[in-house]
Amino acid sequence: MPRIRPFKGVIYNPGKIKNLSKVVAPPYDIIPRDMQDRLYRASPYNIVRLELNRITPSDDAKDNRYTRAGRFFDSWLKKRIMVRDGKESIYVYSQKYKALGKSVERIGFIALMEIEAKGGKKVLPHENTLAAPKTDRLSLMREVKANLSPIFVLYEDSQHEILKILKKACAKGKPFADVMFEGVRNRAWRIGDRLDIKKITRLMAGKDTFIADGHHRFEVSRMYSNEVSGESSKYVMVYFVETSENMLTVLPAHRLVIDIGDLTKEEIKSRLAKHFRVEKIPSLKAVVSKLDRLQSSHVFGMYLGKGEFHVLTLKDMKAVDEAIKDKSSYWKRLDVSILHLFIFQHALGIRDDDDNIEFVKSPQETAELVDKRKFKAAFFLNPTKVAEVKRIARLGEKMPRKATYFYPKPISGVVINKH
């Protein structure tokens, strides 16, 4: 993998900010408008003013969401609302949460990672990226000149050697950040000991890494590094987590369809019945339960409104293999691939564009949006497995967008990398 190194992070000044829960925020891409308003009200120093500044009708080339973010950041640094650490550190970052009926603590570390790989080892993506989000994040980076939130990356360590160092560091003292946010306890510690830092960098040497979340921001960091000079721009802030199944929670992003063309409900069921067993199910709860029981099969939930739930079970992979060309057999067997390329595009002829497909984490919210007639149909699916992410990345292929939702996402505001 590319080299990693410690850095002097920018953090909220505990002498000025007494309650971190008022100033942290989720990553920009999961902040809807109502949450943005709520975060603005929470504190004049909430990081949403940097991550996702409001758009106003008077925005122009000199005064817009990006330039305002840059001015806010400069002002907070001058007022010492935020301060830069005096010593280079690697930061231990823990998130403790409940998901899928169990309690989990995910412990990783935040460090800088060289953007360009050397020595043959790589940072492996698994999802395609879109132009609009990259333009947005690049415009912001040009103004703030910082990584406001870390890219989430996975690494393999079967002996848990790095995790042991991280846990030892946590046991030595209190965290400098300890904040409950949306049901998740977020804590962070500094590792400033040179020996521990050397051990971590040595153990990470030679490993492939896999991007779990932050594909757009990683590509933008590369674009930015090509625009500006200076050693600091050649590194990006990354949150590294071991690929341990008991520390990772992957949730599915369910799909909502706005436009189904002239298809009626009966036509949808008739077309799908050629390739799937279409079973009527009494409730959303029953759909979710059945999907969970049949995770080894290619099975999907479907909601067409008015309480009409169905479960779709693929009859035979041959039809999928014939319909999807130029992809590996592993790629074709991903549920998200079957949903987008076989169900949407091949069987139903649905337009598979970002302005026609929405992604929602909550099954309940997904169904409610159909009932409110904002969408014509909903499709539910099981989560992509971590092993599938690694396999597709190693093959050099890209999954359909929003193939994974690693929960929880690292929050913004724990530590910043200022170039």
Beta carbons of 309 and 293 less than 8 angstroms apart: no
The pLDDT assigned to 135 comes to 95
Cis peptide before 57 (omega within 30 of 0): no
Chain Cα centroid distance, residue 107: 17
Top mean pLDDT of 72-81, 202-211, 352-361, 389-398 is at 72-81
Following DSSP, what letter does each residue of 214-258 receive, concatenated? -HHHHHHHHHHHHHS-SGGGGEEEEEEEE--GGG-EEE--EEEES
pLDDT tens for each residue of 82-120: 999 999 999 999 999 998 788 999 999 999 999 875 544
Tell me the pLDDT tens digit for each residue of 191-244.
999 999 999 999 998 787 888 888 889 999 999 999 998 888 899 999 999 998
Residues in contact with 403: Cβ distance below 8 Å, sequence separation at least 6, in sequence order: 126, 127, 253, 334, 336, 384, 389
For domain 253-382, give the fold. Answer: 3.30.1760
According to DSSP, residue 394 is labeled H
Average of pLDDT values for 24-50? Answer: 95
d(CA 399, CA 402): 8
Torsion angles phi and psi, residue 13, rounded to 5: -75, 115
Domain boundaries, the chain: 4-248+407-418, 253-382
CA-derived radius of gyration, the chain: 22
